[in-house]
Chain A
Amino acid sequence: MSAQPYRLPSGGRVDRSRPLNFSFDGEPLTGYAGDTLASALLANGRALVARSFKYHRPRGILSHGSEEPNALVTLRKDGGRVDPNTRATMVELHEGLHAESQNRWPSLGFDLGAIADVLSPILPVGFYYKTFMWPASFWKRVYEPAIRAAAGLGRTPELPDPDRYQHRHAHCDVLIAGGGRAGLEAALAASADGQRVIVADEQTQWGGSLPEGGEAVQQAVAALRSRRNVTLLSRATVFGIFGHNHAGVLELVPPVSGRDLPRQRLWQVRADEIVSAAGAHERPLVFADNDRPGIMLAASARMYALRHGVAVGRQVVVATCGDSAYAVVRDLRAAGVNVIALVDVRSEAECPDAEALRGLGVAVYTGHTILGTEGRKRISKLHIARVNSRQSIALACDALAMHGGWTPAVHLHSQARGKLRFDDALDAFVPAADPAGFRSVGAARGEHLGRFTPVRSLPTTADPETVKAFVDFQNDVTAKDIGLALREGFESIEHLKRYTTTGMATDQGKTSNMAALGLVAERLNRPVPQVGTTTFRMPYTPVTFGALIGAHRGALFDPVREAPSHASAVARAAIFEDVGQWKRALAFPQPDEDLHAAVRRECRAVRETGGIFDASTLGKIEVVGRDALEFLNRMYVNGFDKLPPGRSRYGLMLREDGYVYDDGIVARLANDRFHVTTTTGGAARVLAYMEDYLQTEWSDLQVYLTSITEQYAVIAVQGPKARSLIQPWLDIDLSDQAMPHMAVRAGRFDGIPCRLFRASFTGEIGYEINVPWGHGAHVWEMLCERGAQVGFVPYGTETMHVLRAERGYIIVGQETDGTVTPDDLAMAGMIGTAKRDFVGKRSLARPDLIAQGRKQLVGLLSADPDLVIEEGAQLVADPNQSVPMKMLGHVTSSYYSVNCGRSITMALLAGGRERLGQTVHATVPGGFAAARVVTPVFFDPQGKRVHG
């Protein structure tokens, strides 16, 4: 088929009866089912597939796996799906795939950015640091935008990702990373006696480096498939090992037309044992112009021929410093690939198989090195010479397969906190000892690897300063760059990595790290282990944010909690605010009102007639048991001994360090039963806090705590006419004699069982109707409808805040910040002095907590009654003092109060109660505003209105 000129006439594990159409840079091409994008591009003779990062040099496919540094492409799909920086070697070909090359303009073949390659003598390593220094004013406006524009490979998608990502959790006895020979053997052994085994392999086909999919592989996979205790995941990479053998596995889900499958799956696997059978990475050789398209790793050339039936070239040369290349030559020839020569830098005596290959008709050059290559969009010529000789031989070729030795993939071992040991015979770091619950097998442990003689860079007679011999293909780092960095003093491998960027970016130096390390060791004349190695961190291969986020986006990003009145509030066009996960109505503006106007109207209405407020989000805890009273006496500052059933009291709770933790109402329903409320935000932590003391300090107390936050809806009715609004629905006598302020009664509201609190957070007569949550919406709506006829309004949290501030009631978390004592709030009077102990009592006697000059809660009245000082504004005594000024405190709450006819402010002020009547100055935009210190009660100073 001429459309795929490099496809071998037979062989490979592709399905030639299923051609697939795809495109590359807009050109229609075909491949077969079983191809990767890389193998299909090679079959079509596409050697040039990318431009390099810094110099924009033409680049081809280097490898066949996840270590690929060069062949990064953008996948473009329908509906705005864009997937940049995808490794062509890891993309399974499918019908209609559209791939584009990156980092080139105007086209891959003619890229103006390649000027960087010509200018490379003035773009050495560290160029950015050395050049873009002066003037400093250029950093942000000139240099950074210019560098940012030039940086990066693919472009970030601009539209939201329309794909779906799935999360799976799994538990197993053994997780095996890698489905090559070692991984499959480990899986067979581990699963034989019924252990639950998961095998994950990043390739589409099992067998790892056994591309022929030999019978042994087929049998092993079939045996594993037949075992119910085995899960086989192909296209799945174990990318991270976390604490306690928790592994992250990213599975790519191939698209199936007509099915709505997730694009990727993130598996979180908890395994008793993790086995790394991750194999080894082949090293490239370092020589002049070793990055031309058509130059690739030898094992990859073999893989493309045997697995995909693709010849990587028509005249292939293999270059090596190790034995593995000889088998590659034999396999390539057997598959029908025309290998014309083998170049081995080792001497004839070190190359035992050389003569045999010559017998097959391959020109074998032992003791030869590579001086350079030619060819623009594909290698066309190779110049070799006997080591230390100037007499070069030119070999015409269109592909070069290179083998520079092996590097065991110890990444997962290192992530599992395993230590490494340098093995001189292997010239590589290998696992020193298996960490607990983790072991490496096969090539990942350094076993079964072909013998090689490490060569840091191939010997050459050329001036090393004129040679571009790439060590790190993805970051365009050459041997010369590493030499320069060393001369400039970057000898620590971690420094060198950051200065030259070698080993960074999407491939994390899988093919380049050992080459760089070896070069450094050689130049510094130190053994490799003394140079050390950089840290292997997760992820092993890139993981998309989409996979990590999974379904947790949009509406599912965080749970939303809705109060019973929510639907009604939405219908009434309420403005909402987020309070933790709760949606709370801030105010209910009329069509012609803004927020401020709505709050003023609501504030006025509550004090003139009445208002209805959904307080259901308050935390509620039922405290029951023989010792419930004793327990609450210990948890709150208040003494509850004299609190009879049917009555409630405002309660203040401290932390053990003496600072205010939470507040609420403690209502006694029966001798051994209390209903306590907490702040909305404190609901969960106050319960946990109480449980802590109950379980760990006072486990002798017989008390049971139950969260009833979501059992009871709370509709508050506040205002001078509150009683007359609700009385008709209640079977409870609301008269002041029968139900005074802070009384609690059980009864029925419109037939619904309710707990009725007479309580007020506004300073008006108030009732809080607690009904089962499911009835809350009904009660709310009924009250709003009937209330509207007599002047009641629904009101929101902003109005609630203003009304309570008018009366000087605190909000924990607003007037307090974790450093405020009851006395600071002028609430020391509610402390039960007769109590021997309660949480925080001892700390109230700490020297700092009884010191003079502590910040105390005061009111402020700004000189300009229309000025609302901002919350958080700092307070000073003298605005004309020199900076840094002495800060006396800050504003905690500040509103415009329509009921007071002016602004009102609460503040924490050093020695505040001694400054009553004085003037302080608050920071405002542009300067300071004067304010008079007053007692923090701005409305109904005698507090008479709550009693009716």
Chain B
Amino acid sequence: MLLIRCPYCGPRAEIEFRGGGEAHIARPIDPAATSDAQWADFLFFRSNSRGPHAERWLHAYGCQRWFNAVRDTVSDRITTTYKSGEPRPR
């Protein structure tokens, strides 16, 4: 079971959280202005990367806040977590 550091509450067990998929996929400001292809890209396409992966987590059974984590999809290690809205760490 992963140990996830909620940026608001500190390290907690994975069962308190819910995953939310890839992070930093902003909803288009004006969806009406997007083409079908752009909108489909936003809705359905994800990087499915091998290695470091920025992803969303919800501390569902805690503070109920969404935040982001960088998790290595090979080793399952979480290198960092940060508040949503903050830039992806380099």
Contacts of B14 in A (CB 8 A): 243
- Are A691 and B66 closer than 8 Å at their CB atoms? yes
Residue of chain A at shortest CB distance from B39: A842
Does B30 have its Cβ within 8 Å of any Cβ on chain A?
A: yes
- Residue of A243, A656, A842 near B76 (CB, 8 A) is A243
Q: Are B76 and A244 in contact (CB under 8 A)?
A: yes
A167→B49 CA distance, assembly (Å): 37
What is the chain A residue whose CB lies nearest that of B66?
A: A695
Q: Which residues of B24-82 are within 8 A (CB) of A?
A: 26-28, 30-32, 34, 36, 39-40, 43, 56, 58, 60, 64-66, 75-78
Query: What's the Cα separation between A842 and B41 when bound, in Å?
Result: 13
Q: Are A692 and B58 in contact (CB under 8 A)?
A: yes
Q: A656-B43, A688-B18, A843-B43 are in contact. Are A696 and B84 (CB under 8 A)?
A: yes
A657 near B43 with CB under 8 A, answer yes
A692 touches B34 (CB 8 A): no
Q: Is A7 an interface residue (CB 8 A)?
A: no
Minimal Cβ-Cβ distance residue in B for A246: B1
Encode contact with B along A388-401: 1 for CB under 8 Å, 0 otherwise: 00000000000000
Nearest-CB residue, chain A, relative to B58: A688
Whole-angstrom distance between the alpha carbons of A246 and B12 in the complex?
12
Residue of A nearest to B11 (CB): A270
Tell me whether A841 is interfacial, beta carbon within 8 Å.
Answer: yes
**In the complex, chain B residues whose CB is within 8 Å of the CB of A243:** 1-3, 14, 76
- B66–A842 contact, CB under 8 A? no
State how many angstroms separate the Cβ of A49 from the closest Cβ of chain B: 39
Which residues of B lie under 8 Å from residue A451 when comparing CB positions?
none
CB < 8 Å neighbour of B66 from A244, A246, A692: A692
Bound-complex Cα distance A313 to B88 (A): 70
Q: Is B85 an interface residue (CB 8 A)?
A: yes
Determine if B30 and A270 form an interchain contact, defined as CB atoms under 8 angstroms apart.
no
Given contacts A244-B2, A244-B76, contact A692 B20 (CB under 8 A): yes
Interface size class of B (residues with CB under 8 A): 20 to 34
Residues of A within 8 A of B40 (CB): 846
CB-defined contacts of B56 to chain A, threshold 8 Å? 696
Looking across the interface, which residue of chain A has its beta carbon closest to that of B34?
A842
Closest to A657 in B: B43
The complex places the Cα of A312 from the Cα of B36 at a distance, in Å, of: 80
Query: Does A128 count as interface, using CB distance less than 8 angstroms?
Result: no
A837 and B64 in contact, given A243-B2, A246-B3, A656-B43 (Cβ under 8 angstroms): no
Closest chain B residue to A705, Cβ basis = B64
Could you say which residues of chain B place their CB within 8 Å of the CB of A847? 36
With A843-B39, A843-B43 already in contact, the answer to whether A691 and B34 are too (CB < 8 A) is: no
Q: Does A590 sit within 8 A of B, measured CB to CB?
A: no
Chain B: minimal CB distance from A838 (Å): 9
Give the distance to chain B from A286, nearest Cβ to Cβ, in Å.
39
In the complex, A836 Cα to B75 Cα: how many Å?
Answer: 44
A417 to B77, CA, bound (A): 12
Question: Shortest CB–CB separation between residue A253 and chain B, in angstroms?
Answer: 24
Roughly how many angstroms separate A580 CA and B1 CA in the complex, as a whole number? 25
Cβ of A697 under 8 Å from chain B: yes
Q: Which residues of B contact A841 (CB under 8 A)?
A: 31-32
B30→A699 contact, CB < 8 A: no
Contact B85 A699 (CB under 8 A): yes
Q: Distance (Å) between the CB of B18 and the closest chain A CB?
A: 7
Most buried by B among A245, A695, A837, A842: A842
Complex Cα–Cα for A713 and B45 (A): 43
**Contact yes or no, A842 B84, CB < 8 A:** no
Could you tell me the distance in whole angstroms from the C-beta of B11 to the nearest C-beta in chain A? Answer: 8
**Does the CB pair B32–A244 fall under 8 Å?**
no
Q: At the interface, yes or no: A729 with Cβ under 8 Å from chain B? A: no
CB-CB under 8 A from B85, the residues of chain A are: 696, 699
Q: Mark B1-27, 1 if CB is under 8 A from A, else 0.
A: 111000000000110001010000011
Please tell me if the beta carbons of A842 and B32 are within 8 angstroms of each other in the complex: yes
| Contact, CB under 8 Å: A688 / B1 | no
Bound form: Cα–Cα A603–B25 in Å: 49
Taken together as a complex, chains A and B put the C-alpha atoms of A275 and B56 apart, in Å, by: 32
A contact residues around B1 at 8 Å (CB):
242-244, 246
Once the chains are docked, how many angstroms separate the CA of A695 from the CA of B26? 12
* Minimum CB–CB distance for A271 against chain B, Å: 10
Q: How far apart sit A695 and B28, CA to CA, in the bound complex (Å)?
A: 16
Cross-chain contact B3 with A691 (CB below 8 angstroms): no
| Docked complex Cα distance between A657 and B32 (Å) | 14
Which residues in window 197-249 of A have CB below 8 A to B? Answer: 242-246
CB of A551, distance to nearest CB on chain B (Å): 16
Interface pairs (23), CB distance under 8 Å: A242-B1, A243-B3, A243-B14, A244-B2, A244-B78, A246-B3, A436-B77, A688-B60, A691-B58, A692-B20, A695-B84, A696-B66, A697-B27, A836-B32, A837-B30, A837-B32, A841-B31, A841-B32, A842-B34, A843-B39, A843-B43, A846-B39, A846-B40
Query: What is B's interface to A at a CB cutoff of 8 Å?
Result: 1-3, 13-14, 18, 20, 26-28, 30-32, 34, 36, 39-40, 43, 56, 58, 60, 64-66, 75-78, 84-85
Interface residues of A (CB under 8 A from B): 242-246, 270, 417, 436, 656-657, 688, 691-692, 695-697, 699, 836-837, 841-843, 846-847
Q: Which 7 A-B pairs have the closest CB atoms?
A: A842-B31, A244-B3, A695-B66, A696-B84, A246-B1, A697-B27, A243-B76
